[in-house]
């Protein structure tokens, strides 16, 4: 069986909500929902949080994740992409623990409503395929064919030639999917030092909208609380 590492990226800074990754949700810190989904997975062998923040590290350990290092500050900036965080983690694990996973499951703590079943299903699809990665998606609520942009003061189609005159009813629109950030699984041998982390040789795992919420604002927390309450009612 392949060795599978769950990697949870959780830096201390955040713009939309202060200390977002440990903000309370449903009676526990936001990041706890992701750690628990990983722990309930039948496929994951190891769970690691990459963080620059000692408080996040302490909370993560309390819920059962490993934090063997603190991420360097230059890899925890607002504009830090995923690839250097991934490479830093795997390099540290190789050098210090001689640990070399076959697959990395990238689990963002801002997706608390994904389930362990979502995680295992995505892993299973990638292992059975010859793709480099799989990314979770949900059916997009807003369709680009019905979107507009301003040309000075005139409202024009966002995609020239595609608008409501050609697609007057929702049922005529082709299905469009949105990356929801809940579950990304990466085949480690496919990632080169200069990237990309997610290659074009990619599969998709479709999730329902009610499990696809990506928390970025206070309003998102309110919606998540409502969905959690309905789930546990």
Confidence of residue 231 (pLDDT cuts 50, 70, 90): confident
Note the pLDDT of residue 233: 64
Q: Which of 15-24, 27-36, 89-98, 197-206 has the lowest mean pLDDT?
A: 15-24
Could you give the CA distance from residue 129 to residue 132 in angstroms, rounded to a whole number?
Answer: 9
Q: 204, 157, 194: which is closest to 81 by C-alpha? A: 194
Class (C level, CATH) for 4-139+178-232: alpha beta
pLDDT of 148 higher than 80: yes
pLDDT of 15 higher than 90: no
Note the pLDDT of residue 14: 85
Note the pLDDT of residue 135: 98
Share of the chain above pLDDT 70, in %: 100
Question: What would the pLDDT profile of 210-230 be if each residue is shown by its tens digit?
Answer: 999 999 999 999 999 999 998
**What is the residue extent of each domain of the chain?**
4-139+178-232, 141-175
Question: What would the pLDDT profile of 183-193 be if each residue is shown by its tens digit?
Answer: 999 999 999 99
Confidence of residue 91 (pLDDT cuts 50, 70, 90): very high
Q: How far is CA 135 from CA 40, 42, 63, 118, in A?
A: 20, 19, 25, 11
- Say which residues have a Cβ less than 8 Å from residue 36's Cβ, sequence separation at least 6: 63, 64
Given a contact cutoff of 8 angstroms between Cβ atoms, the answer to whether 41 and 120 are in contact is yes
| Phi, psi torsion values for 84, nearest 5 degrees | -65, -30
Q: 233, 4, 19, 10: which is closest to 111 by C-alpha? A: 10
- Tokens matching residue 145: 């064919």
**SS3 at position 7:** strand
Question: What would the pLDDT profile of 102-138 be if each residue is shown by its tens digit?
Answer: 999 999 999 999 999 999 999 999 999 999 999 999 9
Q: How far is CA 164 from CA 145, 159, 169, 172, 185, in A?
A: 7, 11, 8, 10, 36
């Amino acid at each position: 069986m392949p060795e599978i590492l769950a990697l949870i990226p959780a830096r201390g800074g955040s713009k939309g909500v202060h200390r977002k990754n440990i903000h309370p949700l449903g009676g526990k810190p936001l990041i706890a929902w992701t750690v628990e989904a990983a722990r309930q997975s039948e496929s994951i062998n190891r769970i690691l949080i990459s963080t620059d923040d000692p408080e996040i590290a302490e909370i993560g350990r309390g819920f059962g994740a490993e934090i063997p290092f603190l991420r360097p500050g230059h890899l925890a900036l607002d504009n830090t992409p995923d690839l250097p965080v991934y490479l830093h983690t795997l390099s540290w694990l190789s050098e210090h623990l001689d640990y070399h996973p076959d697959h990395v499951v990238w689990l963002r703590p801002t997706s608390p409503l994904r389930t362990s079943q979502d995680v295992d299903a995505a892993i299973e699809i990638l292992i059975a395929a010859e793709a480099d990665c799989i990314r979770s998606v949900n059916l997009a609520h807003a369709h680009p064919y019905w979107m507009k942009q301003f040309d000075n003061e005139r409202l024009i189609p966002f995609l020239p030639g595609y608008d409501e005159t050609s697609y007057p009813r929702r049922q005529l629109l082709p299905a469009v999917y949105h990356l929801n950030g809940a579950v990304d699984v990466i085949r480690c041998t496919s990632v080169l030092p200069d990237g990309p982390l997610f290659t074009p040789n990619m599969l998709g795992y479709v999730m329902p909208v009610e499990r696809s919420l990506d928390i970025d604002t206070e309003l998102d927390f309110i919606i998540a609380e409502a969905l959690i309450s309905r789930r546990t009612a």
